[in-house]
Amino acid sequence: MRISPKTIREARQISRLLPPLLRPTRSLEVATQELSWIKRELPKSAWKNAVLQRMNHTPLQYILGTQPFGDMDLITKPGVLIPRWETEEWAVKVLDFLISNSANNIRILDACTGTGCIPLLLNSQLQKAGIPHTIKAIDISPRAIEIANENSTKYSSTVEFEQQNLFTLKPEPFDLVTSNPPYIPMKDYLSTEVEKSVRRYEPKEALIGDLEFYTQLVHTVDDCDADNFIFELGYQTQAEHVKRLVSSEWTVGTLNDSAGNLRCVIGSKNMELNLTSLCNTIM
């Protein structure tokens, strides 16, 4: 969609910093919102440079250096995936589930942790609720682990972050495995469906992946003897793949996000603490 000269004129009348923001945002309303964040969060001397970076499609979160996630403001730098609202939404549901079921002493593994958004949210809120627990989180990327550790320090967390490859992870006992793995198949990543700023700036190792990650996650669940799991995904085929891989003692279902899109596959073989109660559909 092209931006009309009228919109550009309107933007210039409001602020000379606004027209460049129309290029990545395509809307006066969004550009105005982004400019207000830049002005609020950065010193005046940094505004012009921030606008120029944004004009070239650098994600706003890398420019501002943070992204809200729950009640946290997570450090977000190039080299690590920017946490998404869809992930926050299901992580909050898991958290509410654990709190309302008093999941005392639960042992959680978060695989492919990125900024550490999922385990840090669970850790901070379970601590506040007085629910004892342990959480380990792994990522193959040293940069992700470095940033996750910065976030961990910022929020005084007790999460143990480790640089590990999911595919060679040594088994340890856990009760719940959470993960938002790379799940965009290469052909979709290369299509126009993925936003330019995502393709240009976010690490492709964090995004490109498919069934191999779900196969490995199911192996990890088995190796860790976990009885609940939740994996973010983007495609029905990925959910069906998980359902096919697990044994018959597992109940498996899917959860949609609030935009109505398929978002997670959930499995449980624990009758008392059954995470599939969050599902929209049991498979």
Secondary structure letter of residue 130 according to DSSP: T
Interface with ligand SAM: number of residues (CB under 6 A): 22
Q: With respect to ligand SAM, which residue has the nearer C-beta, 231 or 250?
A: 231
Within 151-190, the residues that bind ligand SAM by CB under 6 A are 165-167, 180-182
88 interacts with ligand SAM by CB under 6 A: no
205 interacts with ligand SAM by CB under 6 A: yes
Report the b/e string of 198-213 with b at 16+ CB within 10 A.
beebbbeebbbbbbeb
Residue sitting closest to ligand SAM (CB): 114
CB of 163 to ligand SAM, least distance (A): 9
* Cα 250 to Cα 248: distance, rounded to the nearest angstrom: 5
Q: With respect to ligand SAM, which residue has the nearer C-beta, 141 or 251?
A: 141
- Note every long-range contact of 219-224, with CB atoms under 8 Å and residues 24 or more positions apart, other chains counting: 220/109, 220/111, 220/166, 220/169, 220/171, 220/177, 221/177, 221/246, 221/267, 223/169, 223/171, 224/109, 224/171, 224/172, 224/173, 224/174, 224/177
Which secondary structure element, helix H or strand E, spans residue 251, and what is its range?
strand 251-256
Q: With respect to ligand SAM, which residue has the nearer C-beta, 47 or 235?
A: 235
Which pair of tokens denotes residue 113?
Answer: 């942790």
CB of 123 to ligand SAM, least distance (A): 14
70 interacts with ligand SAM by CB under 6 A: no
Pick the stretch among 20-28, 113-121, 248-256, 266-274 that binds ligand SAM (CB under 6 A).
113-121
Question: Which residues of this protein are in contact with ligand SAM, per CB under 6 A?
Answer: 81, 83, 87, 112-115, 117-118, 138-141, 144, 165-167, 180-182, 205-206
